[in-house]
Amino acid sequence: MKPLSTNYRSFDVWPGNCRPTRGIAVLEMLNILEGYDLRAMGHNSTDYLHTLVEAKKLAYADRARYYADPDFAKAPLDALISKSYAAKRRALIDPHHAARAFPPGAFSSAAGDAALRSGDTIYLTTADADHNMVSLIQSNYGGFGCGLCPTGLGFGLQNRGALFNLDPDHPNAYAPGKRPFHTIIPAFVTRDGKPYMSFGVMGGDMQPQGHVQVLCNLIDFGMNLQEAGDAARFHHTGDQEPNGENTPTADEPATGGTIALESAITPQTRRDLIARGHRVVDRTAPSAATGPSATTPSATSTTAAASPTRTAGCRLLTRKNYVTIREVGTARKLMRFHNP
């Protein structure tokens, strides 16, 4: 299966290839955002947040309509992640007003309509001295998965079948032997064909939004790895889902969803977003955690790691037989001890 990626300001982003994944939405959002000077807007300014939220709505409209097991449904993936398509979608964004909803893109050969939400997930990444990297996510989806454990094996089975759509005409419709739409995006970034970063974000439908915000922090705003993970984020919810949730009807029309903002985003920015038609909820952004990230910039032969301080996490850097840095949750300790 051909890996999917896009080039964002000279960085190649690879959001995992276990389809059908919402990683495609990361690529769509980045292609749309590439047409803006985000740095000039200012990090977490009203213009910046408005633009990212609207780009997210556009990508999630396609997510609900087209993402499905490619062995069962012909999704227009190459078109969805093309630069020309992004330009058409970008033109739908009103810089001054929030959209209640965007229609999915129109493609002659596709069919359908699409979801997810809570669950607990772990993300793990590692890189070695030769710049080999691993990006891994494990998630049972909702609760403790389906609650069943294979005899003698000691692990629980997932319940991601909940993300199938029960509309038989939808690309993501339930069928035997079919993979459901899912949430996990273990990602890589390369530059000039060489490894640059392995990273991931946890939290259901926060994942594409978190990926894009971390990448913009790194690439557009020049933050270091730790800063990019720690910077305040938004979490937009309420878009139509691939399993049919939040589908607008005559009785319940589209509302545009809601935005949760972390506390470091200023009250004035909140008021300005509301003035543009966004529904801002008065709570901290849920599922805003990112997994650890690791970079291996080949130009310097150095390795950096980061784990955001908003959640329990750990980063470990090793040099020969020494562990030099360890971070757990919000408690940081600088250590140097023998690692036999």
Active site residues: 121
**Which residues are CB-neighbours of 306 under 8 A, at least 6 positions away?**
224, 225, 226, 228, 229, 292, 293, 315
298 vs 295: CA distance, rounded Å: 9
What tokens appear for 163 in the block?
A: 């993300």
